[in-house]
Chain A
Amino acid sequence: GDSVTQMEGPVTLSEEAFLTINCTYTATGYPSLFWYVQYPGEGLQLLLKATKADDKGSNKGFEATYRKETTSFHLEKGSVQVSDSAVYFCALSDRRTTDSWGKLQFGAGTQVVVTP
Chain B
Amino acid sequence: GAGVSQSPRYKVAKRGQDVALRCDPISGHVSLFWYQQALGQGPEFLTYFQNEAQLDKSGLPSDRFFAERPEGSVSTLKIQRTQQEDSAVYLCASSTSVGGPWETQYFGPGTRLLVL
Contacts and interface: CB of A to CB of B under 8 A. Distances in A.
Interface of A: 4, 31-32, 36, 42-46, 49, 51, 89, 91, 93-95, 99-109
B103 A109 contact: no
Size range of the chain B interface in the assembly: 20 to 34
Interface string B86-116: 0000010101001111111111111000000
Contacts of A93: 101-102
B72 interface: no
B91 A44 contact: yes
A106 B44 contact: yes
Given A43-B91, A44-B43, A91-B42, A101 B50 contact: yes
Contact of A108 (B33, B40, B104): B40
Nearest to A100: B101
B45 A43 contact: no
Contacts of B2: none
Contacts of A95: 100-102
Given A45-B107, A103-B48, A104-B43, A51 B102 contact: yes
Nearest to B58: A103
Given A95-B102, A102-B105, A108-B41, 8 more contacts: A36-B107, A43-B3, A44-B91, A101-B56, A101-B98, A102-B33, A102-B101, A105-B45
22 contacts: A42-B109, A43-B108, A44-B43, A44-B91, A45-B107, A46-B105, A46-B106, A49-B102, A91-B42, A95-B102, A99-B55, A99-B56, A100-B101, A101-B31, A102-B31, A102-B33, A102-B48, A102-B99, A103-B56, A103-B59, A105-B45, A108-B41
